[in-house]
Structure 1
Amino acid sequence: MARTDDKLNVLILAAGLGTRLRPLTNEIPKPLVRVYDKSILEIQMERAKSLGDVRLHANAHYLAEQIVREGERLGFEKVWVEQPEILGTAGPLRRIYAAGYRGGLLIMNGDAYCNFDLKKFVANARSAYEAGKADGSNRGEVALLAVDFPKVNTFRVGADGCLLGVAGRFGSKEGRAATFSGISWYSDEALARIRDGEFDIREFWKQEIEAGRAPFVDMSQMHATWIDMGSPEGLMAAVDARKQELGREKNEAVVEPGVNVPASARVVHSVLYKGAVISENEVVQDEIRGENFFWQIPPNH
């Protein structure tokens, strides 16, 4: 049965394996790792709610039962469990559309700490969509939010603001370079064209370009905060960014409940997760520590 009210659907991708953060993620999925005060899943949920009355979805695979429980606590419409295999990015989009959800779909990433103006992005996406309808081009039925990250600037964007190609994958080598932020918007018309069994969303973008319906690339927030928190260095950077957002001191220690820090120990610019052991008189600085592991993070990560 189609859900045809005015609510925007939001999908937070949370099915990744978190391999770069093991052993921290051995028993907790990456989207539930705390970033200072909250998990990235909860932070992304709060960002999504800045748009107003939205329908929240997440997908889950690795340690899925934890994501399901957290989704229930946070009031998600549904957590879509992907078993026995992950469905990529295209698969979850197709699944939500096939279940009857309508009203467009905003995609967010469960392993990136970012602080984009989502209202601005959705407004720009819908404007591009309406412009494509008005001129008959049907461009803009998909919108992709870009950032400037030179190490991963694989997008190639044309003068008309539409995607020309992805370096190393398909399309033109010309155009302005940018990085995909992981945030995107899909119209119902675009979602209807994602085929059953399609996994790689980049292949869908390629098909759209070839059909004359190139995705719109929003480059209005190229220098906003965007951090891949999938590595220890990225996790520390995300914690620092969260501290800054909340007006906290950068050198403040982040200590999960249950971790015992002796009065004689000193903890500076470090994150102590469940199971971390701190000795008497120990100095812990620029470090992430948990049960049976620690990562020394260079100060200028």
Structure 2
Amino acid sequence: MKSNDSEVLNVLILAAGLGTRLRPLTSDVPKPLVPVVDKSILEQQAIKARAIGNVRLHANAHYLADQIVAEGGRLGFEKVWVEPEILGTAGPLKRIYNEGYRGGLLIMNGDAYCGFDLKAFVENAKAAFAAGAQNGAAPGVALLAVDFPKVNTFRVGKDGRLNGVAGRFGLDEGRAATFSGVSYYSDEALARIKDGEFDIREFWKQEIAAGRPPYVDMSQLNATWIDMGSPEGLWDATAARLKELGVDCWDSAALTVDAAKRSIVFAGAEVGEGENIENGIRGKDFCWKI
């Protein structure tokens, strides 16, 4: 049911991806539901979002959508928005706004293991919006940045606003950083997003052109941020989760993890008697070296 209760923060976890880099692991389970030690990324992101306080959880879904819908129900999501045709990175945001949800919208990725202070980010975003309003150039978009030299395409001005994205648009000058996938949009900004399939970077470009460049929060540059959408990333996320839990290994019906051997063995994997798996991820019909 839609709600215009502006005292509740809406949170959208993007979970509509195809998971192609993790096939065949993701042939039968969508990437956001792949277990990372004890919990899927979808569940871990939901827990982190709820730590903010009064939130309303949403997810979008496309590939193996029924599984995301079922898990969203188990986790108490407000709604899982099924996309028969993928709406891009901006379309899902506008869809929620068009259904009457108000109170701002926090975006998180369903394939990133992270250790961000989300409450601090939202507070920083709102403070930046208020400060900008006093100067007559209020941003309605806040983007959380990390320092990841392999990417670092953001160019951030001394005023903390996005100058551009290298190789795409805007000025190629300013401090370099990487978009973490975490962002916050005011209701006013959401109203300006085009309906239908749309790339969110095009919206940022429009906001810059209109004199409302997005605010970039650089306060958590060194926080944990791992894209677990590749075998190497899946291992890195798994190792980080083990460290967070304070254990070196994990054994469950879904998987077995050994930090010392750098190994993950998923249910359904064929393992010979006495076989020792090291530096690899194994599951049904696949074996990856890491």
For the criterion TM > 0.5, the same-fold answer is yes
Aligned to 2:5: 4
Q: Distance in 2 between matches of 1:282 and 1:196?
A: 54
* 2:174 matches 1:175: yes
Which structure exhibits the higher relative contact order, with contacts defined as CA atoms closer than 8 Å and separated by 6 or more residues? 2
* 2:286 matches 1:290: no
1:196 is displaced (CA, Å) by 1.1
Aligned to 2:271: 278
Asked whether the 8 Å contact 1:256–1:272 carries over to 2, the reply is no
Q: Distance in 1 between matches of 2:57 and 2:170?
A: 33
* 2:210 matches 1:214: no
Q: Distance in 2 between matches of 1:260 and 1:161?
A: 44
Q: Distance in 2 between matches of 1:11 and 1:196?
A: 17
Asked whether the 8 Å contact 1:116–1:224 carries over to 2, the reply is yes
Superposed CA RMSD: 1.5
Question: In the superposition, relative to structure 1, how do residues 2 and 284 fare at CA in structure 2: closer, same or farther (>3 Å)?
Answer: closer
Aligned to 2:253: 257
TM-score, normalised relative to structure 2 = 0.96
- Give, as a single letter, the amino acid of the residue that structure 1 aligns with 2:56: R
Residue correspondences, number: 287
Structure 1 segment 18-37 matched on structure 2, within 5 A: 18-37=19-38
Q: Which runs of 5+ in 1 are unaligned?
A: 262-266
Q: Distance in 1 between matches of 2:256 and 2:157?
A: 55
1:269 is displaced (CA, Å) by 2.8
1:2 is displaced (CA, Å) by 4.8
- Give, as a single letter, the amino acid of the residue that structure 1 aligns with 2:35: R
Structure 1 segment 110-189 matched on structure 2, within 5 A: 110-139=110-139, 141-189=140-188
**3-state SS in 1 of match to 2:277:** strand
TM-score, normalised relative to structure 1 = 0.92
Using the aligned pairs only, state the percent identity. Answer: 69
Structure 1 segment 239-250 matched on structure 2, within 5 A: 239-249=238-248
Poorly superposed stretches of 4+, deviation over 3 Å: 258-261
**3-state SS in 2 of match to 1:213:** coil
1:73 is displaced (CA, Å) by 0.2
**3-state SS in 2 of match to 1:295:** strand
Q: Distance in 2 between matches of 1:260 and 1:221?
A: 32
Q: Distance in 1 between matches of 2:245 and 2:170?
A: 42
